[in-house]
Structure 1
Amino acid sequence: MDWKTFQALLSGVNKYSTAFGRIWLSVVFVFRVMVYVVAAERVWGDEQKDFDCNTKQPGCANVCYDHYFPISHIRLWALQLIFVTCPSLMVVMHVAYRDERERKYHAKHGNKAKLYENTGKKHGGLWWTYLLSLFVKTGIEISFLYILHKIYDSFYLPRLVKCEVSPCPNQVDCYIGHPTEKKVFTYFMVGASALCIVLNVCEIIYLVSKGIARKAQKMKRRERTLALHERYNKENSCSDCSTLPMSRLEKQSLNPQVPGHLQATLPAHMHASAPNLS
């Protein structure tokens, strides 16, 4: 498998990842892919040939090896690395989709028009895509660890296994080649996978908390804007009330002592109801 092409394909993910995402990608390529390519493949080079059984019965060694190693560790890890890195391509494809929409929008409305402030910024749909990719990666890591533990009953590799599968004539002792090296690399790869799970969980918590903080800031900004708007409307309504023109009768009602030269202008019923001030 050409891991260099695979690494070049995922190199663009760093531009859109958080700090936890960059650490996760470094762990995957340095502690998993590099160890897999440089050392693990050689340790598991021809494991079936190194699987020795104390019998000459034809087919017994092959059947016992298939019974204890139904899936090779090295092939299972290769499949795990492919599956666990593929969800990151969802983010790259979403950004490419945004770039294409932005290009069409520029062609239609001019270069100054903008559909997105930044096509790689994790807002809106891209935030959900990034969060979904983290959940998928975490689920894949946990699933492969469960499969590895389920197939081999544990992550421990014994030096000697006893086989009673047909066509073996009786209980046969079989010896695994390089058991210590294989055990060390198994624990190392399981530990690296567990570290990636922790990084994914930390990134999920960070991304969700950052999204909640952004929503809270938007709500506070909206409440502040509404409060300022209501205050502005209230001040404008009071200033309008103070500048409204008053009629002659409204002004006279504010002063109970009506001048004599204005008494003639008042209606008769108002003269009758006026109080005797003397």
Structure 2
Amino acid sequence: MDQSDLLGFLVITLNCNVTMVGKIWLIFMVLLRMMVLILAGSPVYQDEQERFVCNTLQPGCANVCYDIFAPVSHLRFWLIQSVSVLLPSAVFGVYVLHKGAELAARRSHRPEDASEDHDAPELTPGARRRLTVPDFSSGYVVHLCLRTLTEAAFGALHYLLFGFLVPKRFSCTHPPCTSVVDCYVSRPTEKSILMLLVWAMCALSFLLTVADLVCSGLHVPSEKGWGCSSLALRADELGRGYPTDTALSSSRGAPRHRRCSPPFSLILVQ
């Protein structure tokens, strides 16, 4: 197989092991959540500490008050949260591509005499246009559980650190401040709106992940669900490098594989 066929096989393998809800979540994370934080959050928070003004001249008091007001920068916290939530999906994608490449390499380097088995059924052009790909549904469910826990943990930490709104005035009595000091936040209304938007995106991400987890746990993958159907594969009936429809067996001990339905078929070059 040439490199284009291998790349197509890996793309199909990843596509068949991610549900439609998972694809919607990924688009939401990349195009909406990350873009909002980068394009909208950066201009709003670029001068957050410089414009944090306190009605005192006591040295160090303003810095201490700002540290109490925001132990972690809002923008940095949101970026770390988004990257952490994306991390399980990235690890799952790398794992699927790695295992798919290993499987393709083993099948493409099989002994030549195995391909000359006269008892094996002859592959038709229609059968050659369908591939079976490995089933990683268990790993997909595990990565969804990790993603749900990560989103929930960061949501709870966000509430403990920042709450839901950015106050216009913050009172501080911590040393070295000698008395009650009032500090004023720059653009509090705009920051509050942005924080509410971040809360909404986090809630939507959490709901999509839970929905994906429920569907993945209750729904058996099929051509109407994940776009692939569960199939068993027998090693002695493989075609050249990759399995086809006629190379399938119903033996109980065979590993589970999935067959991608059109238009995700990859034409094999013989």
SS in 1 for 2:220: helix
- For 2:148, the aligned partner's letter is T
Question: If the length of structure 1 is used for normalisation, what is the TM-score?
Answer: 0.66
Identity %: 31
Q: Which residue of 2 aligns with 1:250?
A: none
Output aligned runs, 1:99-248, within 5 Å.
99-110=101-112, 118-119=132-133, 121=134, 123=135, 126-152=136-162, 154-211=163-220
- Is the Cα–Cα contact under 8 Å of residues 14 and 21 in structure 1 kept in the other structure? no
Q: Distance in 2 between matches of 1:188 and 1:14?
A: 30
Q: Which residue of 2 aligns with 1:72?
A: 73
- Structure with greater contact order relative to length (CA < 8 Å, sep ≥ 6): 2
Asked which structure has the greater CA Rg, the reply is 1
- For 1:88, the aligned partner's letter is S
What are the superposed Cα offsets for residues 63-114 of structure 1, whole Å, 9 maximum, x if unpaired? 000011000110001101111111112322222223213312330245969x
Q: CA RMSD in A?
A: 2.8
Alpha-carbon distance change, 47 to 14 in structure 1, aligned in 2, over 3 angstroms: farther
Alpha-carbon distance change, 15 to 189 in structure 1, aligned in 2, over 3 angstroms: farther
Q: Which residue of 2 aligns with 1:253?
A: none
**Number of positions where the alignment pairs a residue of Structure 1 with one of Structure 2:** 200
Output aligned runs, 1:12-27, within 5 Å.
16-27=17-28
> Is there any run of 5+ residues in structure 1 with no aligned partner, and where?
1-10, 219-224, 226-278
Alpha-carbon distance change, 15 to 37 in structure 1, aligned in 2, over 3 angstroms: farther
Q: Distance in 2 between matches of 1:15 and 1:141?
A: 25
Deviation at 1:213, TM superposition (A): 8.7
SS in 2 for 1:99: helix
- Is the Cα–Cα contact under 8 Å of residues 17 and 137 in structure 2 kept in the other structure? no
Deviation at 1:15, TM superposition (A): 6.3
Q: Distance in 2 between matches of 1:76 and 1:118?
A: 42
Q: Which residue of 2 aligns with 1:85?
A: 86
Q: Distance in 2 between matches of 1:51 and 1:30?
A: 31
SS in 2 for 1:86: helix
Q: Distance in 2 between matches of 1:208 and 1:180?
A: 42
- Which structure features the higher share of helix residues? 1
- Which structure features the higher share of strand residues? 2
Deviation at 1:54, TM superposition (A): 0.3
> Is there any run of 5+ residues in structure 2 with no aligned partner, and where?
1-10, 118-130, 224-228, 231-249, 251-270
